[in-house]
Amino acid sequence: MFSFLKSGIGKVKKALLKTRSILSDPLRLLFKKPLNEETLEELERILFEADLGSSLVSHFTEKLESYHKKNKTASSDDFLKEIKTESEEILKTCDSTLNLSASPTVILVVGVNGSGKTTTCAKLAHNFKKEGKKVLLAAGDTFRAAAIDQLKLWADKLDIELVKSSPKADPSAVIFDAVSAAKARGCDIVIADTAGRLQSKTDLMHELEKMRAVSKKVIPDSPHETLLVLDATTGQNAIDQAKIFNEYTPLTGLILTKLDGSAKGGIVLSIYHQMKLPIKFIGVGEKQDDLMPFSIKEYVDALFS
Ligand SMILES: Nc1nc2c(ncn2[C@@H]2O[C@H](COP(=O)(O)OP(=O)(O)OP(=O)(O)O)[C@@H](O)[C@H]2O)c(=O)[nH]1
Ligand SMILES: [Mg+2]
């Protein structure tokens, strides 16, 4: 994972530029003023705008208030440092490593419509291939012909094997074929795309369980990872999605896409605070190299620098 982490230096910082402009820049100015009722209100407003969510906003406000009581002469930089340390503390248990011990490892990629699943599958496949792994993509979104074509285009471009079926076929059958093929061909990783589904549509949510069951028929402890792709620009709504998906199908981690172009970068912190589901990757653009393994330090530095 280290190889593509290095090439991503600066990308995370760039992706969080908008969030930074509404978060750390105003905070730095605010911390120059004395901390009183008025500035505390302003502090809450700034934290809300970066999508930190109400529980985290209260948490930070209380922490900063008590820090101020103990450190009356603290500077603006001291306050920023304090909020940074506190953010790292919240994320400290977020283990972003993937469980890749099985061969083949099966990764199921799920999420609502348009969150970035197909693109993320391609980016993941590309990253693993760069590490020398033999990857197979499964076109588990059989809902629309265009979805299969989209993954096929990526597979051709990245020179990665693809298992697909005809449109409208049972997605579980595709998963079965893909996992069986990966096993027979000695692949290291299978990455399965799935159709976008609204968390409120229970029949579609149950379909996910069927896909998991079928994968288990071929490899009993699979899928090894079930990753929920969340569009960071949807803000706090992403938390509701994570809660409901997790009720239907046990998630092993989250991928937050479209952090570039979003001013809601605080959602990463907020979602971990509330869900305690590890954030495994973040999407910082549309190209194959725009998926970064989530690094606590890199993220917190980018958010508050
Ligand atoms: N800027 C940016 N765009 C992204 C990112 N990830 C995905 N996208 C874009 O988001 C759009 C939707 O991505 P898809 O991968 O098709 O999303 P999906 O979840 O598969 O969509 P459905 O299959 O329709 O549910 C595409 O235009 C992608 O290029 C990201 O990290 N940053
Ligand atoms: Mg898709």
What digits encode the pLDDT tens for the residues 283-292? Answer: 999 999 999 9
> In sequence order, which residues have a C-beta less than 8 Å from that of residue 198 and are 6 or more positions away?
112, 113, 204
**pLDDT of 97 over the 90 cut:** yes
Q: pLDDT band at residue 1, thresholds of 50, 70 and 90?
A: very low
Average pLDDT over every residue of 15-42: 92
pLDDT computed for residue 198 by the predictor: 85
223 C-beta closer than 6 A to ligand 1? no
Instruction: Specify burial of residue 262 (Cβ count, 10 A radius: 0-12, 13-18, 19+).
Output: buried
**pLDDT of 6 over the 80 cut:** no
Tokens of 228: 């929920």
Strands (E), the chain: 105-110, 135-140, 161-163, 189-194, 225-231, 253-257, 279-283, 291-293
User: Is residue 127 within 8 Å of 8, Cβ to Cβ?
Assistant: no
Distance from the alpha carbon of residue 225 to the mean position of ligand 1, in angstroms:
20
231 C-beta closer than 6 A to ligand 1? no
For the segment 140-162, what is each residue's pLDDT rounded down to a tens digit? 999 989 999 999 999 999 999 99
Question: Residue 122 in 3-state DSSP?
Answer: helix
Cα-Cα-Cα-Cα dihedral sign, residues 62, 66, 72, 74: negative
234 C-beta closer than 6 A to ligand 1? no
54 C-beta closer than 6 A to ligand 1? no
Phi, psi of 143, rounded to the nearest 5 degrees: -65, -45
Phi, psi of 113, rounded to the nearest 5 degrees: -55, 135
Protein residue with least CA distance to atom 4, ligand 1: 286
Displacement of CA 3 from its chain's centroid (Å): 20
pLDDT computed for residue 8 by the predictor: 61
**pLDDT of 179 over the 50 cut:** yes
Ligand 1 atom closest to the Cα of residue 150 is 16
Q: For the chain, how far is it from start to end, CA to CA, in angstroms? A: 25
Give percent of the chain above pLDDT 70: 97
Average pLDDT over every residue of 179-204: 93
Distance CA 264, CA 89 (A): 20
Strands (E), 68-221: 105-110, 135-140, 161-163, 189-194
- pLDDT, the chain, mean: 93
Q: pLDDT band at residue 9, thresholds of 50, 70 and 90?
A: low
> In sequence order, which residues have a C-beta less than 8 Å from that of residue 119 and are 6 or more positions away?
154, 257, 283, 286
Distance from the alpha carbon of residue 229 to the mean position of ligand 1, in angstroms:
10
118 C-beta closer than 6 A to ligand 1? yes
Question: Residue 287 in 3-state DSSP?
Answer: coil
User: Is residue 14 within 8 Å of 261, Cβ to Cβ?
Assistant: no
Residue 246 vs residues 20, 143, 147, 194, 219: alpha-carbon distances, Å: 30, 22, 24, 16, 22
